[in-house]
Amino acid sequence: MTDQNIQDSILKKGYFYLNEGDFDIHLFHEGSYYKSYEFLGAHYITRLDIEAVRFVVWSPNATAIHLMGDFNDWDETQFPMQRIKGSSLWQICIPGVQMFDRYKYRITATDGQILYKADPYAFHAEERPETASKFYDLKGYIWHDSEWLKSREASDDYNRPISIYEVNLLSWRKKHDGKQYSYHDLAQELIPYVKEMNFTHIELMPIMEHPYDGSWGYQITGYYAPTSRFGTPKDFMYFVDTCHQNGIGVILDWVPGHYCKDAHGLYHFDGGSVFESHDYDKAHNDEWGTANFDYGKPEVKSFLISNLLYWHDYYHVDGIRIDAVAYMLYLNFGGKLLKNKYGGFENLEAVDFIKQMNEIVFKYYPNTLMMAEESTAWPMVSWPTASGGLGFNYKWNMGWMNDILEYMQLDPVFRSGFHKALTFTMTYAFSENFVLPLSHDEVVHGKKSLLEKMPGTYHEKFSNLKLLYAYMYAHPGKKLLFMGSEFGQFIEWNEWQALDWHLLNYDSHKNVQTFLKDLNGFYKTEACLYGVDTSYDGYEWIEVDNSKESIISFERIDADGHKLLAIFNFTPVGRNAHPIGVTQEGTYEVVLNSNSERYGGSSPSQKKNYQTENEPAFNRPYSIRIELPGLSAVYIKLKEEATHERR
């Protein structure tokens, strides 16, 4: 439109159209518009000194679209959108739209059906159960995290401590009247707690807008909208900003595999297959009752890859955990018998998408975290695409998680027969860059809480749990623990209620919390546990095959050659003079003992020292003989090195 036409249209109709954005449109349809959120959706524009909002939506099958909302009393025909020439995008520009004005697209399908859809690119939405989008301008928030961002740019993620606290914001804690916390409330209470507990990162279960609390956020309707359950988008910016000011990184769960079928969402967006495949079997995830994204559509690629950059651009997030990658990679995951054009079960379009996605994200944000929850044996998940990998920089170690939880649930009498569960993990520990996850998936749906999984008496359950955590933190790989596990939540996680914080009135639970806090703090300052975390140069077995006593020990080694000895006794039988082979003479000091009185155990809290003997053990020239309590873990260092580390 010319300026005169725009002016005439505004005066006569109250809206106008723009003939611009050809390059943006081309990139979007090509699948390479990686910041499509700057064009699609609702954005302020100024023409002829008139401020308006331009709405742009992708709808390839619609015969007509009308915009309706608070700004026109929800009139269904007043504001007809116009298909942009040569594309499947529709647009309209409307003066007078206010912040927080609600709106929807009224879409006429080819069969005449009328659909009322939320904006796929909306930055804000009504709080459930309402379903409209809200106009929201993201600009204007003043960040205070420049120091954090500078330090992030200079970091080496592979060889630094990463200890993640996984959180469901709705059920972490509630107010006395049962109401949910806001983003501001969480900033004031959750962040100080995470900092006190010495975690390095918070991982948020999906906070993108979703209609049903019981989905935990994994069935999304608004990929670009932080859920309004807790406040506005700028409130969420404040939360992330406060995390960064307190030295805590923020990782978001992200769900690019599937989306829910709620009427206002992405499914059958204009009556046809838009975000999902035209092939019914490919489009439907019967196991979850959801729809799958079609990665072969370039516009879907633009939508999803842009979404990753959006959360980095506007919310300064530090990483993304990608949910259910196996469901993306395999056509037959979930029981279907689909095959690709070569006769295999791999989803070739998904593989190409994942590689492109990771390449683009790391191009813009080379120091971010891209963590895959991938539960199969797909090779090189966390290898660069240039080396034939999928391009993530981390993968959840589901094998380790399954083995150690199966082992720990055994009565110690039977653990000797399953010793391989402790040792097999090291045959593949460096095949990928791993995160060791004890996540929400392990404490729901009848699996029992981590504490309740532990066998034995009441006291032995807590001893086993501390032993599990000590083993986890000594094992190569980054750490992730679901909320409540740090103080020994007894019952399974229930998304409808807060954690059982009253348990901290009991010594056993308080002791576990103190142990986890100290363990995190030790991990953050002990370079042996993270300094060489991606190769066998940082790990060496000492005692590997003592299945009879269910004892293992190994060394973790930092880049300067300093060593930390980690010894584990998985039976209740204490060993008063257990030999440990060492390579250096001197005095060795216990630097952490899960059985310490400080944590409710029987060992004195003061540091214990051991002098080397000229007796070889485990193919090492010297040895020490240590007190190794039942169901306990002991970390030991050469005293000169331990003293040096503390200075």
Cite the active site residues. 323, 373
Quickly list DSSP for 61-100: S-SEEEEEEGGGTT-SSSEE-EEPTTSSEEEEEEET--TT
Run of H or E including 4: helix 3-13
> Distance between CA 23 and CA 18 in Å, rounded?
14
> Distance between CA 269 and CA 545 in Å, rounded?
59
Q: Which residue, 615, 567, 609, is CA-closest to 588?
A: 609
Which tokens go with 125?
């939405």
> Distance between CA 280 and CA 292 in Å, rounded?
10
Quickly list DSSP for 530-548: TTT-SSGGGEEEEEEEETT
> Distance between CA 119 and CA 527 in Å, rounded?
48
Q: Which residue, 210, 197, 435, is CA-closest to 320?
A: 435
Which tokens go with 312?
């980095």
> Distance between CA 93 and CA 16 in Å, rounded?
5
Quickly list DSSP for 325-352: HHHHHBTTTTS-----TTS-SB-HHHHH
Other Cβ atoms within 10 Å of 112 Cβ, number: 8
The residues near 509 (Cβ < 8 Å, ≥ 6 apart) are 487, 488, 503
Q: What is the DSSP letter of 179?
A: P
Place of tokens 């009427």: 263
Whether the CB-CB separation of 542 and 580 falls below 8 Å is answered with yes
> Distance between CA 193 and CA 148 in Å, rounded?
19
> Distance between CA 31 and CA 366 in Å, rounded?
21
The residues near 123 (Cβ < 8 Å, ≥ 6 apart) are 41, 42, 136, 138, 224, 225, 233
Name the amino acid, one letter, at 218.
Answer: Y
Run of H or E including 301: helix 298-315
Say whether 485 sits in a helix, a strand or coil.
helix
For residue 455, whether the previous peptide bond is cis, meaning omega lies within 30 degrees of 0, is no
Give 372's strand partners.
Answer: 322, 395
Name the amino acid, one letter, at 432.
Answer: E
Residues 580-589 as b/e (b if ≥16 CB within 10 A, e otherwise) read bbbeeeeebb
